[in-house]
Amino acid sequence: MNSSLKLDVRRGTRFEFWARRKPATSEEEHAGGEVFALRADERIVYRIAALPPYFQFYAYTHHTNEPLTLEWDENAIELSLFYHFDPANVVEEGVTFLELRGGRLTARPKEAWPAWYQSDPDRPQLRFSPFQAWMNDPNGLCFVNGRYHLLYQFHPVEAEWGPMHWGHAVSDDLYRWTHLPVFLHPEQNLWSLGATGGAFSGSAFVGPDGDLSFYYTERLPAYDLFKDYKEVQKQIVPSTDLLRPEANRLVLVDGPPGSAHDFRDPKVWYDATRGGYRMVLGAAIDGDPAVLLYGSKDGADWKFLSVLYRAPEHFRRHGARCVECPDFFGLEDRFVLVMGFVGYTEPETGRHNLLYAQVGTFEDDRFLPLTPTLQELDFGTDFYAMQSFRAKERQIAFAWLFNWEFRKPAGSPYSGELSLPRVLGLDAQLRLTMLPEEGCRALRSRALTQAAPGHFICEPGKPIELSLGGALNEIRIVGRGGDGESFTIAHVLGRLQVSVAEDAGEIEYRSTPLELKNLTLFFDRGVLEIFANDGVICGTRRTYKITTLTALELVPSKATDIEFCGAWCYLSVWGD
Ligand code: FRU
């Protein structure tokens, strides 16, 4: 082995990493040789004798007080995610990320995260993103013992979607996150099978006795992304420190007649009026996107009750394959159903994979809508797989800031970001409202200065908020990037529109009609979250072409009468 290093770790420290044989190395070349070893004094305590050509998960826990030496052959091993942690304090201290390169080990403990997050010009500063590799949907959101837990769809070996794990982070305030070890793995090594699938989306459930568990979908090894796969539902009881599953059981295997391979993303609650457990699942019934309702007496043995919602034929006709990530929750004496229609392309605008809500009541295991049509939840569409949870008497939601239209530039160490936390409410017309959670205002650092009225000077790389009130019809807001790129938000022909530098014009990102009365906008290194009319109309876009803003300009029309206008620069939640 060509490199060796002394490590300063305490007894109880656990190492976790994903590794494979360096693609350029042949099996014969490193046959017989060790590629990675840990030595306590002279004793080998952990050794990888040979690596497979596909990624595999490895773990070692140091159970003695002896100092450790790490040895590795850099020509033979490719390490992707690599970290260690002390289970006794990881919730406060987080994991220490490790990188082996050029015979050197770079350790990135929590103190080093701010530099890592701020050095990437593409990295949002107000929002969660994984330290490295790929994330998608938020999962298992919950508030336990005074801490918010975020679990999320995670592919640990590269910044692309692949075999799904659950990443994990905790926060005291919904903004500043501490990275924890990977919580959940696929039930077998899918890389070795050349398959996808694994631990798909799911949610947290607090039972009538206060016990926490997680329900999720396991997609069994899949060889086609669009058909012929099998999805089953599982329940996890976490360890008391919430760091890993203590027990994991299969609870539901087959869908009802008419359903097919799409059968996923459980959300579970306890229905006190019926004294039973209820679960919704995303699926398709005879090809129509649908939400299925299941019931159980004990949380383990589930029976199909009914199709809670079935989409009108229009959606199937325009490509929708199924409902993903259904969310169903009580809010102000009503019930709200939220659904993503994957595959759907809206004929009028070309937007796809839209997220919808409908408000109604839930009686005798039936959802009775109180509004005639679906409400479009985000006209910008980069707000998908929303999941909400109850904490401190509020319904809080996060979503994944992505919709497959545009990608992070190649070479980025990570992909995928989370929205701001949003507080959900209902307006007088029973529309779901979403507003940024108040706590973010504590992160304002100063008011932006104006070069001329309505012309704000931004601080490079810093998140900003603009807040406007009054008669705002026909207003235009232009954000200018450092290299001539811009984005525009405009109220045109009675609708809000948003366009970013990537747009070629084929897709029209526009809202349903509105009289524009107030608008709050957050921009953060390419993430645009727009909240209009007290959160009834929201629009989210992710642009990779403008990461830093130099100026923000308001262009009023004759119809505009601005009564309130404020703009602020924000601190980074990754430490400054
Ligand atoms: C939504 C989704 C879910 C699925 C997960 C897989 O983005 O497709 O339906 O559980 O992502 O990563």
pLDDT digits (tens, 9 = 90+) for 74-113: 999 999 999 999 999 999 999 999 999 888 999 999 999 9
Are the beta carbons of 309 and 290 closer than 8 angstroms?
yes
Averaged pLDDT, 115-128: 94
Averaged pLDDT, 177-181: 98
425 alpha-carbon distance from chain centroid: 21
Residue 382, C-beta contacts closer than 8 angstroms, at least 6 positions apart: 401, 402, 403, 405, 540, 541, 542
User: pLDDT grade, residue 28 (50/70/90)?
Assistant: low
Active-site option among 137, 288, 503, 524: 137
State both tokens at 332. 């102000």
Are the beta carbons of 91 and 82 closer than 8 angstroms?
no
- Residue 113's H or E segment, with its range, is helix 113-119
pLDDT above 80 (res 14): yes
Cβ 262 under 6 angstroms from ligand 1? no
3-state secondary structure at position 35: coil
Domains and CATH numbers, the chain: 3-108 (2.60.120)
Q: What is the pLDDT of residues 455-505, one digit of tens each?
A: 999 998 999 999 999 999 999 999 999 888 999 999 999 999 999 999 999
Instruction: Choose the residue to mutate in 153, 184, 386 for probing ligand 1, maximizing ligand atoms within 8 Å of C-beta.
Output: 153
> Starting from the edge strand earliest in sequence, which strands make up the sheet with 432-436, in order?
384-391, 394-400, 422-426, 432-436
User: pLDDT grade, residue 291 (50/70/90)?
Assistant: very high
Annotation marks residue 382 as catalytic: no
Nearest to 548 by CA among 446, 464, 490: 464
CA of 490 to the centre of ligand 1 (A): 32
Are the beta carbons of 537 and 511 closer than 8 angstroms?
yes
Averaged pLDDT, 289-309: 97
Nearest to 119 by CA among 523, 529, 480, 575: 575
**Given this model, what pLDDT does residue 1 score?**
67
- The length of the chain in residues reads 576
pLDDT higher at 544 or 576: 544
Averaged pLDDT, 190-213: 96
User: pLDDT grade, residue 320 (50/70/90)?
Assistant: very high
Give the C-alpha separation, 207 to 142, whole Å: 13
CA of 201 to the centre of ligand 1 (A): 6
Residue 42, C-beta contacts closer than 8 angstroms, at least 6 positions apart: none
- Residue 116's H or E segment, with its range, is helix 113-119
Report the first-to-last Cα separation within the chain, whole angstroms. 41
- Cα within 13 Å of Cα(147), Cβ side: 15
Give the C-alpha separation, 554 to 546, whole Å: 18
